[in-house]
Structure 1
């Protein structure tokens, strides 16, 4: 049966392999559960039909057995009345119903085997569905946690990058401040050097003036 083949394919399905190949694992798992639920419903329907058919076949078999028994009684009555022709006809009818009952017996056996196969498939599919639901819930939770962790890592990386950029900016600012301070110090040193030079010149002039005055006083006293 195509139905049992589809069920067998679902039972063979490896969830981990399907997840690895799926572009959207969560969507794939939900679809897998949905497919199993649909197949489970179809199997339940087929099991009910198979059981109903088996009951109908058993009913038909019983009817033919009852008819065969009834025609045997009629044949016995005809023999008792010395009506051999009627007895032969009755026995012929009895044989026909016995043959029909035998045919229904074979159909009942085949139907019972099919119903058993469907029941077995139903039990396995119910078990597989329960396992798949639990497995999918766990895998979906893991998948969602992985996405959250991934987003958190991305945010952390962006924050780290922003922090590194801010650190670089602070370092650049510090270097600029240091350069400015050095430049200012150089300017101050230049100013001090200029003042020192003028002070030295003024000191030399004063010394020369004092020397001249000293010479003048000596010349006057000589």
Structure 2
């Protein structure tokens, strides 16, 4: 019963649908860790049980081989005793011949007993060998499944770390978003823009002042020319005109 229970548990674990179990899990990584631990423990327990089953099989096989050897030995002894009885009977020694015939019968009886024990053990040995092979196959399947679990767990952890890294990068990008007026970069840009505007205003103001000065100079030149022309006009009137031919 214990052997069948072990075999049933091995089969159940080996056939477990990992993906379906992960789909229903709240925390797949923790579940995989627990499954790996469970598989490791069950494999160790199953290995112990299988080793014991194999040991029991080997004991039965040893007993079987001993029975076969004993049957052969008793058969040889029966043959030797019968041959000795024939020799004594040929020599006319009936009492010794009967004695060895009796020994031959005892040997034959022991031979038959050993043969019977060996024959009885044969179905048990066959059944145990089949169970051992199934247990070995189940163990191999469990070990493969455990490796699958480990690979799945490692893949999941790698994907989780990758997702975490991507999230950190995205958060970092958000924190330095130059279009965000509330960020340090945004405030610094605004400060530079104000300074640039001030410089442009000062330049525009300086340019306006220079134009005004040139305009003043132009006005002054025009007034001077007017005064000069007026003086020339007045001078022309004060000079007597000379009559031609006088």
| TM-score by shorter chain over 0.5 | yes
Partner of 2:137: 120
| Contact kept in structure 2, 1:4 and 1:121, CA below 8 Å | yes
The alignment status of 1:10 with 2:13, answered yes or no, reads yes
Deviation for aligned residue 1:31: 0.5
Partner of 2:25: 22
The alignment status of 1:76 with 2:44, answered yes or no, reads no
The alignment status of 1:90 with 2:107, answered yes or no, reads yes
- Runs of 5+ in structure 1 lacking a partner? 167-222
Return the TM-score normalized by structure 1: 0.62
The structure with more helix, counted as a fraction of residues: 1
Q: Distance in 1 between matches of 2:173 and 2:10?
A: 46
Deviation for aligned residue 1:12: 2.1
Partner of 1:170: none
- Equivalent residues in 2 for 1:177-188 (5 A)? none
Change (3 A) 1:164 1:14: farther
- Runs of 5+ in structure 2 lacking a partner? 86-96, 184-246
Q: Distance in 2 between matches of 1:159 and 1:27?
A: 35
| Contact kept in structure 2, 1:46 and 1:118, CA below 8 Å | no
Change (3 A) 1:158 1:8: farther
Q: Distance in 2 between matches of 1:16 and 1:154?
A: 32
Deviation for aligned residue 1:152: 7.1
| Contact kept in structure 1, 2:14 and 2:138, CA below 8 Å | no
Partner of 2:196: none
Return the TM-score normalized by structure 2: 0.57
Give the alignment's Cα RMSD to 1 decimal. 2.8
